[in-house]
Amino acid sequence: MTGGLRPGAEVAGYVIERRLGAGGMGAVHLARHPRLPRHDALKVLAPGRSADPGFRERFRREAELASRLDHPNLVSVYGSGADGELLWIAMQFVDGQDAAALVRAGGLPAARAVAIVAEAARGLDAVHAAGLLHRDVKPANILVSRDGDRVLVTDFGIAKEETGGTATGTMPATLAYAAPEQIRGGELDRRADVYGLGATLYHLLTGQLPFRRETAAAMLHAQLSAPPPRPSRVAPGLPVALDDVIARAMAKDPAQRYDGCGELAEAARAALGGKTFRRVRRVRVALAAGLAAITVAATAAALGLRADPPVDPPPTTAASVAAPWGSADFLVAAFPDLLPATPAARGHLDLSCKAVDDAAVPGIVCTGDNPTVWWLMVKCRTDRAPYPPITTPGEGESAWTRPSGSGTAVWRTDPDQYRGQVGKLDVRFGESNRNFCALQAFGMSSGGDLYDRWWSEAPI
């Protein structure tokens, strides 16, 4: 099957009913589920892209990254695979429109625009908590249900782990909403998505692109050098305070922006003068087995140190820049039995590890096929502020004590698409020399087994 998908065509058992939209990667179709009485949105890689290994890998990564996420403001991924030469991703179908279509249909009241952005911000903050970046935040990637009760962020086609930048000379995001550092190919963190959400808010408030110019080159120049646009100049009825919100969200320097998308949304609400407006109701949708486990795994936080005197993060010197783990090198020095000495080596249980590049909370994520633990994350705050307590509900909680120290652990069992069910374990540490660290792990077939059979012997 290499041509366009027509109504009645089948892909992996799904029956195509109609096309919902199309983009550079492929088309999204409304499809009837092969076994369940429901419709899914089926994204199929464009036939012309299927032969390109780069596009196939990007499509595969979209499914992998999106499947980690479990949040009512994020479109759920139910499954993915190949049908012959066709690659497909089955996603939650949202009966409604994207925010760009709402603007084209006649604009949005300011309160409604802020409400949509606030719900999208919750989803994006969950993305960032998972150690991921969306990198293409724009009105077209924010879906609003027909009844207006649900707002969901979609399209993780260029999402990635929060570990680096965009390669020089490439800029896969939509230019009109891309942060300056994204255009330059610099290092990216969640504040690039804050910029995109700020540009989105401007568009929803005014009906215009933030830096509308005659050519793409002129738009690019404006994004790199022109001051942030003022929405009150385009729509005089808007509070002038919203100008300051947009100015901070779209600051050229990421350090001057809001620290997170939720902070931007709260500032926008306050700029409306504290007016009460209908809050978009958050509705949790049915998720495929496994999303909760994989998702929360990516959302967590990190690892604890021994009771020995802590190893401080190295100062920024030429020697430390050359350290194999960069800013996370001090974690490896503190956990030689858990983490490998270099990224090319293997860690505990033969897991493959990589750094989470966050200056404030450096960490290391390890994954593999070991049945005991197949995913774990280690993070410690460099400012040594206590790590937030565990708030995720669990089926069990225990205070633990061992020669290396003490703390608390919470575990639960989650469904998993491939393993049936898996155990999840969150650990915090009580001593002042490591209460700024956390550990999270997934493995075994239940949370109780993971705690009893792995944690008690873990080389921490």
HEC string of the chain equals CCCCCCCCCEECCEEEEEEEEECCCEEEEEEECCCCCCEEEEEEECHHHHCCHHHHHHHHHHHHHHCCCCCCCECCEEEEEEECCEEEEEEECCCEEEHHHHHHCCCCCHHHHHHHHHHHHHHHHHHHHCCEECCCCCHHHEEEECCCCCEEECCCCCCEECCCECCCCCCCCCHHHCCHHHHHCCECCHHHHHHHHHHHHHHHHHCCCCCCCCCHHHHHHHHHHCCCCCHHHHCCCCCCHHHHHHHHHCCCCHHHCCCCHHHHHHHHHHHCCCCCCCCCCCCCCCCCCCHHHHHHHHHCCCCCCCCCCCCCCCCCCHHHHCCCCHHHHHHHHHCCCCCCCCCCCECHHHCEEEEECCCCCCEEEEECCCCCCCEEEEEECCCCCCCCCCCCCCCEEEEEEECCEEEEEEEEEEEECCCEEEEEEEEEECCCCCCCEEEEEEECCCHHHHHHHHHHHCCC
Higher-confidence position of 401 and 192: 192
**For domain 10-92, is the CATH number 1.10.1060.10?**
no
pLDDT at 191 over 90: yes
pLDDT at 231 over 80: yes
Least confident of 63-77, 103-117, 122-136, 191-205: 63-77
Per-domain residue ranges of the chain: 10-92, 96-271, 291-457
Q: What is the mean pLDDT of residues 56-62?
A: 77
Q: What is the mean pLDDT of residues 191-219?
A: 92
Average model confidence (pLDDT) across the chain: 79
Predicted TM-score (pTM) above 0.85: no
**CATH number, domain 96-271, options 1.10.3720.10, 3.40.50.2300, 1.10.8.60, 1.10.510.10:** 1.10.510.10
Q: What is the mean pLDDT of residues 73-86?
A: 86
Residue-wise pLDDT for 294-348, tens only, equals: 333 333 333 233 333 333 443 433 333 346 887 787 778 777 788 888 888 888 8
pLDDT at 269: 94
Supply the residues annotated as catalytic. Answer: 136
The confidence band for 292, taking pLDDT boundaries of 50, 70 and 90, is very low
State what percent of residues in the chain have pLDDT above 70.
80
